[in-house]
A and B are shown apart, each in its own frame.
Chain A
Amino acid sequence: MGEEDYYLELCERPVQFEKANPVNCVFFDEANKQVFAVRSGGATGVVVKGPDDRNPISFRMDDKGEVKCIKFSLENKILAVQRTSKTVDFCNFIPDNSQLEYTQECKTKNANILGFCWTSSTEIVFITDQGIEFYQVLPEKRSLKLLKSHNLNVNWYMYCPESAVILLSTTVLENVLQPFHFRAGTMSKLPKFEIELPAAPKSTKPSLSERDIAMATMFKRFSCLSLPSSWDYRYGQLYVLFLRHHSRTSNSTGAEVVLYHLPREGACKKMHILKLNRTGKFALNVVDNLVVVHHQDTETSVIFDIKLRGEFDGSVTFHHPVLPARSIQPYQIPITGPAAVTSQSPVPCKLYSSSWIVFQPDIIISASQGYLWNLQVKLEPIVNLLPDKGRLMDFLLQRKECKMVILSVCSQMLSESDRASLPVIATVFDKLNHEYKKYLDAEQSYAMAVEAGQSRSSPLLKRPVRTQAVLDQSDVYTHVLSAFVEKKEMPHKFVIAVLMEYIRSLNQFQIAVQHYLHELVIKTLVQHNLFYMLHQFLQYHVLSDSKPLACLLLSLESFYPPAHQLSLDMLKRLSTANDEIVEVLLSKHQVLAALRFIRGIGGHDNISARKFLDAAKQTEDNMLFYTIFRFFEQRNQRLRGSPNFTPGEHCEEHVAFFKQIFGDQALMRPTTF
């Protein structure tokens, strides 16, 4: 298996921490993504490392018993440590606040605290076996205030920090899930829902295991003008992922992952089923809006993209893996510190180890080795693994870092060796432009909303964020088309067909085509002497009118005489290029035509007499000169009451010439009233 075949990899710079051992306990906080290494109950030190922090936080605390759970509030303001099943201890990490610990006991009598979650820098939720308690921490007073609580029997809980939702498992079968949402001091109860358990033999009691449930948000939207209250848009869509193991009684061929969509309002709905087609031990991650399912038995992983088309049975959509199963790319443990000096070869890391623990969305922790990795998707290898270009584009356009990969796919499909057929090329262009158009529309409605002054009244009005999936004309031109048309070995028919296909696609999405694309078409046609084709394109206005294009055509006149007519027509249609029309006509010595034109549009009072007289003189046609001269004399008469030219017009030379040819008496006499 070549290196280019692995499409999943562990990040290059993992968070490294002291391995778990009898004296060193390791904890992971999903909200802050921090690893806590607590040595000897904290007495010999606590080291906290997060993915973004360069400097780990280290401190000491008194060993007051075994630590069950330890987490910082958001922004590392307050540390909470659970050591008993009834209480949680707090310690301020805010400067100027007392660092003396303070304790909060759970309110419900006889309840055991299962754990706690920070929902903001000063708000915390205790989950007990009898319900949840929502507190505000008052660090300066070193006390907590109960904001809200709710009683129900809890088997286990799960927290999704991205959406601030806690899921509680209730009932005997553990399969009724009760979500709560927390936001700015409020706790709201969402409709509960039941996970259908697979049929199991009567002898064993079925139950929903915490291990088979995961929560993840996907498809965070960047542009929004409407529905601001819905978290679907602000935080992405929240999904509850249930790993349903293969049951011998059912006909299914393997385990599957069931995705429940949990909307902000309304009931939770079963939406997608990911077919794994295998059985055994699985773990889930969500990376770049992809569901990654790791399979320990085969030491491989598969990815699912629920945005790709699946088989819809009327209520749920069935998906198959996007790509064949592959292992995560082999990983060498980086050697740092003294080990590097001894120049040992890097140690290959055991992948899919049973000591791995997987957290959402993309975290893999090996407590025994002391590493925390982020799982990453590599897009380049996928290009060759997904032969269907349309599906490949659908897939890539949903990915974060897709731009350069998409551009390389475009270049590849236009290359001599890997040339795609025109319908495929058309499909790819259409998909790109569909995304591009969505962005342009969002941009436009944003601009309109700003103009209408909605920005002040609606604080949620945000400028649409341009994701990498937006590939505009300049991207495609710079990275794909300009190089493509330069390829000598490419048949010109194909080059033109591709350019026209791109222009067709842009037009289909009502996107105004940029001048440089038209220029590219013209350049290619001219290079191959295909002037008649060019003529036809212009005739049907495929190449949009513009002054630069008209000028380009003018320059082609010597190779293709009709270009002159095409250019003049275009200037005429632009209706803002009357000066250019006059210049073109004068340069062709069509002085009378120029004059008639400018008179036709009512501009003859403002034109320079000298310019026209110069041009008339150059024709060496005395009668023409006479006509033009007389015209301006009449204009002078009409505008100023005298046929004479003013010194400012600089026509002395022409007056003299006129006299020389036709004599003094031919000059127009001033009419007096």
Chain B
Amino acid sequence: MAAAAAGAGSGPWAAQEKQFPPALLSFFIYNPRFGPREGQEENKILFYHPNEVEKNEKIRNVGLCEAIVQFTRTFSPSKPAKSLHTQKNRQFFNEPEENFWMVMVVRNPIIEKQSKDGKPVIEYQEEELLDKVYSSVLRQCYSMYKLFNGTFLKAMEDGGVKLLKERLEKFFHRYLQTLHLQSCDLLDIFGGISFFPLDKMTYLKIQSFINRMEESLNIVKYTAFLYNDQLIWSGLEQDDMRILYKYLTTSLFPRHIEPELAGRDSPIRAEMPGNLQHYGRFLTGPLNLNDPDAKCRFPKIFVNTDDTYEELHLIVYKAMSAAVCFMIDGGPVKFSFEYCCSASHSKMNLTGIFCHDLPASVHPTLDFCRRLDSIVGPQLTVLASDICEQFNINKRMSGSEKEPQFKFIYFNHMNLAEKSTVHMRKTPSVSLTSVHPDLMKILGDINSDFTRVDEDEEIIVKAMSDYWVVGKKSDRRELYVILNQKNANLIEVNEEVKKLCATQFNNIFFLD
């Protein structure tokens, strides 16, 4: 049993205390090969945030990181340092492509106390941040960049350092603003995908729908289908889907919720003659299909970058709670009559804040968008209501929605399936958890313990007051349970978890 009785700092916060969450201090990307000689150090730096920092300081910070990595490499050639702990902050290193280094510096959380003489005393909480969480966040930064821009190397091939710098600047300038370091937790480590539970028949109907759409919109290469922000089908490979899912659920979908709630751009197309009434609309691409000047610009994404390196247009189309992503070939050489060439630099229509505006490129025409709308819209609307109906039936069958005595997080490394009853609905800004941050930290600690050994194991922790935290690992699956039972002993807790597994996970092989 590890970390017993952790989270000692419970109790009401002293009134005079002020808390400051962890914050991003700096973020930079460099390649030591670009400025190997003295006096050329500046050339190494490809991106630096905040940009206002004085040049020499930038060079110094980069140099320090370079030195640390070099130094630690002597001890562990294959696994150089991943992070550096200091009193005030923590630095995270990542080398996503050979010689390309990404560094993220996070300030430790601060507690500001009033000393007896009334002067504020600042206390850095050095042990609060979890390495794994923030290393994952850093890796995610790269994955997100790569999804919309391709690899660093590709940019170098296309336009040298200049182009790479442009792309980095354009992307990270906006992306870093969306990092919410104070609310990162275990789920960032997993980077999982929440799957929508569905009966076989409805699932097959969706399959049938996707296949038909791919057939009639013959330029679709991959399709993904989501309902209620949960994945049902991905034609993309797992790793690409993982990051696309992250983009959709934390960026694209949340941005479209508010207009929906406000009742703006009500999507019912009753006015379109000869068209079946439907609720379909584009989340990327044209806003209004009736506007002849509507721009059909879709974000580009790059997938299978290790292999076939495909460039695709991402069309996200939604009807009620069902969203379907059509990914169509966006390579510059491919030609199809559905496309037209355009060199216009017109304003993008909600293509997303991370995607850069590519110059002269092929893209689907308005006619194509209208055709897609008329084919997909009605069918997706029907399908969405089918799913909704089926979902409600299943919910009723599963019985009363009584608040259980426990909360849990489940993750399966094999299919990236993630399920959390700890987290409330994600919003674009923060992911809200329903438990105390200290408990979340214990979960992170248990996860770190699991990472150290390969074998299946189980860790039970007695936390603050009435809480027990149980971590189980069985064949690439992890389960974390937070129990709140007064006066429970170890045996009882063990029994509770067994019961939970029997009810929630009875159809998988989960060793107890």
| Interfacial residues, chain A to chain B (CB-CB below 8 A) | 421-423, 426, 493-494, 496-497, 500-501, 503-504, 507-508, 532-533, 535-536, 539-542, 561-562, 564-566, 568-569, 571-573, 581, 590, 593, 596-597, 600
17 A-B residue pairs with CB within 8 Å: A422-B211, A422-B215, A423-B212, A500-B208, A532-B234, A532-B238, A535-B414, A536-B234, A539-B415, A540-B203, A542-B207, A568-B475, A569-B508, A571-B509, A572-B508, A593-B456, A597-B511
Does B54 belong to the interface (CB within 8 Å)? no
A542 touching B200 in the complex, CB below 8 Å, given contacts A501-B211, A562-B415, A565-B475: yes
**Residue pair A596, B512 in contact (C-beta under 8 Å):** yes
B371 within 8 A of A: no
Is B67 close to A, CB under 8 A? no
Residue of chain B at shortest CB distance from A581 = B509
> When chains A and B are docked, how far (Å) is the Cα of A426 from the Cα of B204?
12
Contact of B237 with A by CB under 8 A: yes
Is B198's CB within 8 Å of the partner chain A? yes
Contact A500 B509, beta carbon cutoff 8 Å: no
Q: Smallest Cβ distance from A545 to chain B, in angstroms?
A: 9
Q: Using Cβ atoms and an 8 Å threshold, which residues of chain B touch A532?
A: 234, 237-238
Cβ A421 vs Cβ B511 within 8 A = no
B507 pairs with A600, CB closer than 8 A:
no
Q: Which of A562, A564, A569, A597 contacts B507 (CB 8 A)?
A: A569
**Which residues of A sit under 8 angstroms from B508, Cβ to Cβ?**
569, 572
A573 vs B508: C-alpha distance when bound (angstroms): 7
Contact B201 A508 (CB under 8 A): yes
For B234, list chain A residues within 8 Å (CB): 532, 536
| Cβ-based interface call for B32 (8 A) | no
Contacts of B238 in A (CB 8 A): 532
The answer on a CB contact under 8 Å between A572 and B212 is: no
B215 touches A497 (CB 8 A): yes
Q: Determine the residue in chain A with the shortest Cβ distance to B456.
A: A593
Query: Which residues on the B side are within 8 Å of A572 (C-beta)?
Result: 507-509
Which residues of the other chain, B, contact A568 by a CB distance below 8 angstroms? 475, 509
Within 301-316 of B, Cβ neighbours of A (below 8 Å) are at none
Please name all residues of chain B whose beta carbon is closer than 8 Å to the beta carbon of A571 when the two chains form the complex: 509
Provide the bound-state CA to CA distance between A193 and B234, in Å.
65
Alpha-carbon distance A494/B417, docked complex (angstroms): 28
Across the interface, name the chain B residue whose C-beta is closest to A510.
B201
Let me know if B233 is at the binding interface, CB within 8 A.
yes
A496 / chain B contacts, CB cutoff of 8 Å: 211
Contact with A along B177-213 (1 / 0, CB 8 A): 0000000000000000001001011011101100110
B395 — which chain A residues lie within 8 A by C-beta? Answer: none
A569 near B509 (CB under 8 angstroms)? Answer: yes
Interface contact B200-A507, CB-CB below 8 Å: yes
Q: A504-B205, A507-B201, A532-B234 are in contact. List 5 more A-B contacts (CB 8 A).
A: A422-B215, A535-B415, A539-B195, A542-B200, A565-B476
Q: Is the CB of B215 within 8 A of A565?
A: no
**Shortest distance between the CB of A182 and any CB in chain B (Å):** 51
Kindly report which residue of chain A lies nearest to residue B208, judged by CB atoms. A504
Residues of A within 8 A of B208 (CB): 422, 426, 500-501, 504
**8 closest Cβ pairs, A-B complex:** A497-B211, A562-B414, A504-B204, A568-B509, A572-B509, A540-B203, A569-B508, A422-B212
Which chain A residues lie closer than 8 Å to B207 at the CB level? Answer: 500, 504, 542
**Contact with B200, one of A541, A561, A593 (Cβ below 8 angstroms):** A541
**Bound-state Cα–Cα, A533 to B207, Å:** 11
Q: Which residues of A contact B507 (CB under 8 A)?
A: 569, 572-573
Q: Which residues of A contact B476 (CB under 8 A)?
A: 562, 565
> Is residue B352 contacting chain A, with contact meaning CB distance below 8 A?
no
- By a CB distance below 8 angstroms, the chain A residues around B214 are 493, 497
Chain B 218-236 near chain A by CB (<8 Å), digits 1 or 0: 0000000000000001110
